[in-house]
Structure formats: structure tokens, C-alpha cells
């Protein structure tokens, strides 16, 4: 299951996850590649859902791109059934701009670093 937060209603998608990634210590390169693949695969669904009503998370300007923070929960309870990815989405007004930098800073400060 892929769950995108930051929307009025969470966007939840079902997808196939390679069994090799549903372990406590998955191959890091493959796991990161899978997270990126899932973010890209559902980007158009996220755009249609208009997180934050289409506005930047940090200022009143219109959002033109997103900062994604996909978090892997692919090995929950040692069972494939509980496997999921939660993607915290923050819409930003300028790619690489101040609001994107602030989004990345906030995530780095508020979410503890976790391994895959």
C-alpha cells in the first residue's frame, strides 16, 4: 500500500512490492530505487488531488512542484500484508526556492533519520 499524506483526504494506492524489500534489512539501493519509482508513478495522482488546495505549504503562492518524503514501512511486523510506504508531500511555489529549502529543513529537524 502506498499512502500519501498532506492532502485533505489521504491518497491510498495498492501496488506490488518486491518480496526482497519486505525484510528488516532490505538491499538499500533497491529499496531507495523502489521508493523513487513509487513517488514518480503516483505524481500525477498527487497533482490532481491538489495538496494544500494547490498552494505552497509555506506561503500563499500557487504550488508548482512537491517535496516528497517517502517513508518505508515495507517490513512491518515481518509480514508482507502490512507493507506500506507513507509519502509526506509538501507543495512548493518554486523548485529549489526558499520554500522548498524550508520544507527540507523542517523535515530534517522534525523527522528522525531512519534506515530502510
Dist. CA 99–CA 103, nearest whole Å: 6
DSSP assignment of 4-60, as one string? Answer: EESSSS-EEE-----GGGSSSS--HHHHHHHHHHHHHHTHHHHHHH-GGGGB-SSSS
Note the pLDDT of residue 18.
87
The pTM assigned to this predicted structure is 0.79
What is the full per-residue pLDDT of the chain (116 aa) written as tens digits? 666 655 666 788 888 888 888 888 889 999 999 999 999 999 898 888 888 889 999 999 999 999 998 888 887 655 556 778 888 889 999 999 999 999 999 988 887 665 55
Can you give the residue ranges of every domain in the chain? 2-110
DSSP3 helix / strand / coil % (the chain, rounded to 5):
40, 25, 40
Amino acid at each position: 500500500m502506498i499512502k500519501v499524506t498532506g492532502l485533505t483526504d489521504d491518497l491510498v494506492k495498492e501496488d506490488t512490492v518486491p518480496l526482497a524489500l519486505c525484510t528488516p534489512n532490505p538491499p538499500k539501493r533497491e529499496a531507495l530505487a523502489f521508493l523513487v519509482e513509487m513517488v514518480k508513478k503516483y505524481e500525477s495522482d498527487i497533482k490532481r488531488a491538489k495538496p494544500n488546495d494547490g498552494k505552497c505549504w509555506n506561503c500563499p503562492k500557487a504550488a508548482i512542484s512537491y517535496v516528497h518524503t517517502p517513508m518505508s514501512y515495507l517490513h512491518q511486523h515481518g509480514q508482507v500484508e502490512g507493507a506500506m510506504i507513507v509519502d509526506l508531500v509538501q507543495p512548493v511555489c518554486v523548485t529549489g526556492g526558499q520554500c522548498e529549502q524550508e520544507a527540507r529543513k523542517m523535515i530534517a529537524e522534525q523527522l528522525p533519520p531512519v534506515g530502510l
